[in-house]
Amino acid sequence: MFLIWLRVAAILYGVASLLAIPAVLGNRPRGHRFCLPMAMGGWFFHLVATVEMMAAAHHLIPVMADEIVSTLALLIVAVFLLIFFLYRTISFGLFALPLAFLLTVVPAIGPDRYTFASPLVRNGWIAFHVVMLLAAYAALLFSILASILYLVQERRLKDKRSPGFLTWLPPLATMDQIAHTTLVLGFCCMTAGLFAGSLIAQEKVGIGYFADPKVLLSFVIWGMYVVILFVRRSTGLRGRRAAWVTSGVLVAMLCVWAANLLSGVHSSAHRFGLK
């Protein structure tokens, strides 16, 4: 029975995550009104599922991998809700809610694991996973490019002797908007890519997917994405600092991508059984 409540919690976390992005980054009051009830509902059903899961396993503390991951997600949302009620800020939902969803979705599938209806459907999810992660890399690349061009344009406007061929550069406000928009796009693509990867991997390795160091590093990079978005939104990070911070995340993401390509164990072909 606890799987039903856990699945309901995962769905509510997913909806709350989608609402948190415009609520935090777009500062839309309507998103605030709907995001928090969804998160609270998800946490309630998650708590019920956790109590039933522990009672069925006849122990009071999480021991199995799925129990640990599910309990971690429960505590993450609990801290987020506590912060909201104490400080009346929903900003941390940008990090807490998608992470809780990603950590909950695999345990919610259950021990039987989800099996794709056909190899064609499975390959479609694999293609979606790969395309979303590549789109995240591409979006981040354009974000850092826009940040660098922002610096060049800023320097050109301050220096009257700057070369005339740089007049084709867009205004500062336009490039800053491009850098921010592509960063948000990359965040959405990476979140979708990680979700698809979790769904695919659970068919073969289940909750052990989260024990892979490269997977954990991918989630760390996703967290860095969230930090950049949060800092840009709250402090107005732009210009030179934005370029350096975004460059650091891009280098880290490229390192993970290179590690996946060079690894004979974790490469996409071996991981998903394509060869």
* Residue 141 CB burial class (10 angstroms; 0-12, 13-18, ≥19): middle
pLDDT attached to residue 151: 76
Q: How far apart are the C-alpha atoms of 104 and 8, rounded to whole Å? A: 10
CB 76 within 8 A of CB 99: yes
| Per-residue pLDDT reduced to its tens digit, 19-56 | 887 777 666 666 667 888 999 999 999 999 998 888 88
pLDDT attached to residue 265: 44
Nearest in space to 247 (alpha carbons), one of 184, 188, 191, 183: 183
The pTM is what? 0.66
From residue 53, alpha-carbon distances to 67, 74, 128, 185 in Å are 8, 13, 32, 37
* Sign for the pseudo-dihedral over CA of 153, 137, 245, 248: negative
What interhelical angle do 65-87 and 93-109 show, nearest 10?
Answer: 150
CB 256 within 8 A of CB 217: yes
pLDDT attached to residue 213: 67
CB 132 within 8 A of CB 190: yes
The residues of the chain scoring below 50 in pLDDT are 264-265, 267-272, 274-275
pLDDT attached to residue 43: 95
Q: How far apart are the C-alpha atoms of 84 and 72, rounded to whole Å? A: 19
